[in-house]
Amino acid sequence: MSDIMLTAASHEDWLAELHRAYIIYGEDADLIREAVGMLKLHVLGSAGGDFDWEELDAGSCSPEDVLASAQRVPVMADRRVVLVQGAEVYAKAERRAEASRLAGAVPNLPAASCLVFVVRQSDASRRRSAVLTPDLDGAVRAAGRIVRCAQLEGPALAEWAQAYVGRFGKSIARAAVQRVVADVAERHAVKEELDKLVAYVGDRDTIDISDVRELIGEAPEDVMFRLVDAVSARNGSDALVLLRQAARYEGRAQTLAAKLIALLTRQFRLLLQARELVEMGVPIQRMRRLPADVEAELPGETSLASMAWKAGAIARDADGWTVEEIADALGQLVECDAANKGEEAGSSDPMANLEMLVVTLCRKRPSLAARSA
């Protein structure tokens, strides 16, 4: 029989035909437990059939104990299931002889037997060509199935998360599930966060990004980008809150300052381009798709054309800045960076410098007419 890859979103198709032997292995311990549970339910029914189920530990029992149990006649069910936990020990050099005895006996198991070897893989064992030994793997393939329970990651983990939430009659927004999956790499940890979110939203049908932010918190990079957006929109109160939140994620104020100044410098260059385009008569709605001759005039790096998806928002923010103010802001960023590095007079505390920078940038200047009055 060919090997199969079991995913967390898999149904019970792999159990459509039952076999006398299985190796269930992989990196995802939760998925292995689910696979074993599916197999037990499929063979023995919801009652569990304790008379026809036995769980053994490969580390403390002999091959003869395993085979004696597997060869017993089932009492209540059509098959007897024997689960051998910790079967990875058979891959060790000192246990190869035992693995050979099992390999020799697997082809002769009674039709009413269902012998299952459970193997938790490590990084080292994943590099081996055989799950256990070539002989034992081959015997199980001939009599049944080798089932891999791989650790889910990336899109596959996100897909599982959406399916898991669906079991509770709920859906989860794409941004929300991506945030959960990006923050927590392992499926069991993702499951714990999803359980919290399901309980948190109560009777609501949908889990959205605001629920994730409220319950789990924000990713450090999300906080930084929202901080830059707040400064760009001259929203000083939000910007200060987000700056202090960013400081909790980034322990070193000097590192935080370097990242923030770089992001703000890029943002103000984009604002300047948007201002100039408005003065050229390019409407905001056209900034997502600029004419080729206009795009050619933009800088090669930090070009608004490369941020087309955000061009509208940047153009709306640019409406709140004059070209003079943007030029002054870029100068303040240079000065703040120099002060943080001790190259110019100013506070020796980068965090204090950043707070002053944010307040100053977000403060709206009086109009020229007001200043002249």
Domains of the chain in start order, with CATH, are 4-149 (3.40.50.300), 154-215 (1.10.8.60), 220-372 (1.20.272.10)
151: left (phi over 0), alpha (psi -120 to 50) or beta: beta
pLDDT of residue 355: 93
DSSP lists the bridge partners of residue 114 as: 81
* Helical H segments across 45-146, by residue range: 63-70, 96-105, 123-126, 134-143
Low-confidence ranges of the chain (pLDDT < 50): 124, 367-373
- CB-based contact 102:23 (threshold 8 Å): no
Q: Cβ–Cβ contacts within 10 Å for residue 126, how many? A: 12
Is the overall model pTM greater than 0.95, yes or no? no
pLDDT of residue 239: 92
- Tell me the CA distances in angstroms from 4 to 85, 111, 184, 233, one per residue in order: 20, 22, 26, 53
pLDDT of residue 55: 95
**Per-state percent for the chain, helix, strand, coil, to nearest 5:** 60, 10, 30
pLDDT of residue 95: 94
